[in-house]
Amino acid sequence: MKRLLVLGAGTAGTMVVNKLRPRLDDAEWKITIVDQEPTHHYQPGYLFLPFGDYRPEEVVKPKKKFIPDGVELVMAEIDRVDPAENRVFLADGTELEFDQLVIATGTTPRPDETPGMAEDEWRKSVHEFYTFEGATALGEKLAAWEGGRLVVHITEMPIKCPVAPLEFTFLADDFFKKKGMRDQVEITYVTPLDGAFTKPVASKHLGDMLSERKVVVEPDFMIERVDNESKTIVSFDEREVPFDLLVTVPLNMGADFVARSGLGDELNFVPVDQGTLLSTAHDNIFAVGDASNIPASKAGSVAHFAVEIFTDNFLEHIAGRPMTGAFDGHANCFVESGDGKGMLIDFNYTTEPLPGKYPLPGVGPFSLLKETEMNHYGKLAFRWMYWNLLLPGKELPLPALMSMVGKEQEEVAQ
């Protein structure tokens, strides 16, 4: 009996076992998935928690519910992988052997990596919304906040869901307008990038949307520390941005066991081939979802498209054949823009987000890079699809590889 061992029962790991269990012979392959957290969080929902739009129970469900029959779920902390011996050590001393290993332990925010961030002002005037606790605490803060300088800040790329801080900013603008206090809030968007987003066309569109909302962008800002006394963030080149409320996206890193196992880069992400997700160092180790170092957005949609390609590749790989599928870095993200509207962006490793239409049989088309109500409903509907179709590994009417159909090439005004 051979064993496929999957580390991490989040979005990517859960999809992997749901896709592979029906396609691997029960008599030949045992599948085991390891995770230390009993609950699965719908992370896109965190964005809405600070504004009181979702109830906590809408975004949290037991992990067990999404693991299919025939897959063993082990609840334990992972200590390390021994790639030479094909073995994983759990923190409780258990050893699990594997023939094939899939690392799907994602990325987590690490506020303690920035001096001063997780100190005196943490969860008082310094907040984040990438954890359930953080998003809930920020919701309480915003409900009572009387205004002042709001600074939305990104520590360093890559981050999970790179559009989320923009969405947070748009939603905050809308939230303060509706409370009749927008004129009492000054919003600054501080980023290590040279503009609102990474790719030129989208960066211009999103940058325009920030300026329409009177949000000041502070680009090329690499944070050195948070000064708790003066309530400022200070960059390595000694610029200072004062805040009354800082909403930061802390440094993102992969799991610590990845580093302990010698499998990670500087940020504990696993170096893999960007087309096959196979480790560059080990022929029986894959990394899927946010855990890998592929130059794509760290996002559920990317994990979903990547797992579609990975599934067929994996079956070829264990049959000793060359893997014929190549993931293209496809991402498809709804971007909430406030006031009941949203945008859609669709892109991959080589094609940046472009305007146009996104065709979807029976439902669409959705408008790309343009604010519409339809896109907002698309985003809300996605929560249902996530729990009921995506995690269980059912077919979604979305092609895994990006298509140019409907997209318009556009020159960026310099």
Partner 1 sequence: MALATLANREVHVDEEGFMTEYDEWDEEMAAALAANIGIELTDAHWKAINFLREDYKENDVTPTLRRVTNTGGIPTKELFALFPKKPAKKMAYIAGVPKPAGCV
Stretch that binds partner 1, among 83-91, 126-134, 151-159, 304-312 (CB under 8 A): 151-159
Interface segment toward partner 1; rule CB under 8 A; list 12-20, 143-151, 217-225, 362-370: 217-225
229 vs 120: CA distance, rounded Å: 9
In this structure, the strands spanning 87-90 and 78-82 are antiparallel
Q: Are strands 29-35 and 2-7 parallel, antiparallel or unpaired?
A: parallel
Assess whether the previous peptide bond of 158 is cis (omega < 30° from 0): yes
Taking the C-alpha atoms of residue 392 and residue 14, their distance in angstroms, rounded to an integer, is 7
- From the list 58, 57, 63, the residue with the least C-alpha distance to 39 is 63
Q: Measured from the CB atom, is 182 or 225 closer to partner 1?
A: 225
133 binds partner 1 (CB under 8 A): no
Torsion of Cα atoms, 252 then 256 then 261 then 264, to 10° = 10
Q: Which is nearer to partner 1, 238 or 395 (CB)?
A: 238
Kindly state whether residue 198 participates in binding partner 1, applying the rule CB under 8 A: yes
Site pattern 311..330 for partner 1 (x: CB under 8 A): ------------------x-
- Residue 177's φ and ψ, nearest 5 degrees, are -60, -45
Least Å distance, CB 249 to partner 1, is 12
User: Which element (helix H / strand E) includes 66?
Assistant: none
What is the C-alpha to C-alpha distance for residues 308 and 327, in angstroms, rounded to an integer?
Answer: 9
- Of 5, 3, 10, residue with least CA distance to 289: 10
164-178 vs 200-212: helix crossing angle, rounded to 10: 20
The verdict on 281 binding partner 1 (CB under 8 A) reads no
CB-side exposure of 293: number of CA atoms within 13 Å? Answer: 15
Min dist CB 267 to partner 1, Å, is 7
Q: Does 254 bind partner 1 (CB under 8 A)?
A: no
Q: Write down the least CB distance from residue 75 to partner 1, Å.
A: 33
Diameter of the chain measured on Cα atoms: 66
Q: How many residues bind partner 1 (CB under 8 A)?
A: 23
Nearer to partner 1, 184 or 280 (CB): 280
Q: Kind and range of the H or E element at 263?
A: none
Q: Does 267 bind partner 1 (CB under 8 A)?
A: yes
Residue 112 sits in the site that holds partner 1 (CB under 8 A): no
Least separation in angstroms between residue 1's CB and partner 1 is: 38
Establish if 8 lies at the interface with partner 1 (CB under 8 A).
Answer: no
In the complex, the smallest distance separating the C-beta of residue 206 from partner 1, rounded to whole angstroms, is: 14
User: Toward partner 1, which CB reaches closer, 93 or 295?
Assistant: 295
Residue 97 contacts partner 1 per CB under 8 A: no
Least separation in angstroms between CB 200 and partner 1: 11
Q: Are 185 and 147 in contact (CB under 8 A)?
A: yes
Candidate residues 61, 110, 177, 199; the one interacting with partner 1 per rule CB under 8 A = 199
Q: Helix, strand, coil % (nearest 5) of the chain?
A: 30, 30, 45
The residue type at 7: L
Does 85 sit near partner 1 (CB under 8 A)? no
Q: Is 140 an interacting residue with respect to partner 1 (CB under 8 A)? A: no
Q: In angstroms, rounded to a whole number, what is the distance separating the alpha carbons of residues 254 and 265?
A: 9
Sole window of 5-13, 91-99, 261-269, 389-397 interacting with partner 1 (rule: CB under 8 A): 261-269
For partner 1, the closer CB: 86 or 297:
297
Interface contacts to partner 1, rule CB under 8 A: 156-159, 162, 193-194, 198-199, 220, 222, 224, 235-237, 265-267, 295-297, 329, 331
